Amino acid sequence: MLRYILKRSLSLLVSLLIASVVIFAAVEVVPGDPASYMLGMNAQPDTLAALRDELGLNGSLIQRYLGWVGGMLQGDFGVSYTYRTPVAGMVADRLAVSLPLAIYALALSTAIAFPAGIWAAARRGRLGDTMVMGATQLGVAVPNFWFAMLMVLVFAIGLRWFPAGGFAGWDKGLWAGLHSLTLPAIALALPQAAILTRVMRSALIDALSEDYIRTARAKGLTRGQALRRHALRNALIPVLTIIGMQFSFLLAGAIIIENVFYLPGLGRLIFQAISARDLIVVESVVMILVFGVIVVNFAVDLAYAAVDPRLRARE
């Protein structure tokens, strides 16, 4: 196991290193000088030079890369060119919207997918199953930002149950915050729930065809009991993998939904930073997201290896 952990850790470090180089290089080729963006068209050359110096844009590529990575290792993600505030603080502010939104959406999608998947698997091939599977086909095909617009039309403009956009802020209380995140969370959850329902259903159906289910039935358990006590637990592994993947997707993938609802989340921060050529924000936020995904994958791999010795042997 130790050998496996060491090998995976090494591969984790290499991945992070390559990711940081790729992100740095990608952002470097973005045309446009941040200093001239900040000072406008009529800036004096000496003011420009002074600002470039202040922003640390004058060093060589390698110096700037090392400065960026070194800073991040110490928790310093740089200072935004446009807002003149530390990036770390901005990210923390935006995470206060994006993280609860992702958790909210994931909770909704799980709450829909578990019962729907179990129900469909238990009625495999019958009308209920066909209906659930039809609904999931629609769920994965609906563009979520369009679904969001339709919900705004019905629940915000028509029925006035929810705001059409914006975020109330957590200082107004938990309820006000959740209330303004409800429509975005539903829009994000819908396709995820459809995917998760399908995974849940097919994992359960696979598990139900195993020998231990036949044994359990032979012992006198009903089909439902065998499903709940034995099949469900074994079907959870692929389902949890998908939930893990969906969480990292929801954190970064809400850009478009954040745009529909004018939510001040992480996605909108990246979007605005790219338009304003606020490169340091783009670099750091993308790196944080990639870091999150790589580390989550690493943790999942280790957890599997701990549970299933066959995975260790395969490496």
Partner 1 sequence: MIAFRLGLFLVLVVLGAAAVSLVWVPQDVGAMAIANKLKPPTLAHPMGTDHFGRDVLSMIMVGARTSIAVALVAVGIGMGVGVPLGLAAAANRGGWLDEIIMRGNDLVFAFPSLVIAILITATFGPSAVNAILAIGIFNIPVFARVTRGAALSLWTRDWVMAARVAGKGRVRISVEHILPNVANLLIVQGTIQFSLGILAEAGLSYVGLGAQPPTPSWGRMLAESQTMISFAPHLAIFPGLAILFTVLGLNLLGDGLRDALDPRLRRSR
Site residues (vs partner 1, CB under 8 A): 11, 14-15, 18-19, 22, 26-27, 29-31, 137-138, 140-143, 145-146, 149-150, 152-153, 157, 202, 205-206, 209, 248-249, 252-253, 255-256, 259-260, 267, 270-271, 274-275, 282, 286, 289-290, 293-294, 297
Nearer to partner 1 among residue 107 and residue 138 (C-beta):
138
CA distance 236 to 242: 10
Do the Cβ atoms of 81 and 277 come closer than 8 Å? yes
Nearer to partner 1 among residue 137 and residue 215 (C-beta):
137
CB of 147 to partner 1, least distance (A): 8
CB of 209 to partner 1, least distance (A): 8
Nearer to partner 1 among residue 49 and residue 304 (C-beta):
304
CA distance 102 to 246: 9
The label of the residue with tokens 């935006």 reads 94
Nearer to partner 1 among residue 49 and residue 206 (C-beta):
206
CA distance 130 to 15: 42
Nearer to partner 1 among residue 163 and residue 253 (C-beta):
253
Nearer to partner 1 among residue 69 and residue 140 (C-beta):
140
Nearer to partner 1 among residue 49 and residue 303 (C-beta):
303
Cα separations in angstroms, 207 against 72, 122, 169: 45, 12, 44
CB of 268 to partner 1, least distance (A): 10
CB of 251 to partner 1, least distance (A): 8
CB of 219 to partner 1, least distance (A): 25
CB of 21 to partner 1, least distance (A): 11
Cα separations in angstroms, 50 against 43, 54, 159: 11, 6, 55
CB of 157 to partner 1, least distance (A): 5
CA distance 145 to 143: 6
CB of 70 to partner 1, least distance (A): 22
Nearer to partner 1 among residue 29 and residue 218 (C-beta):
29
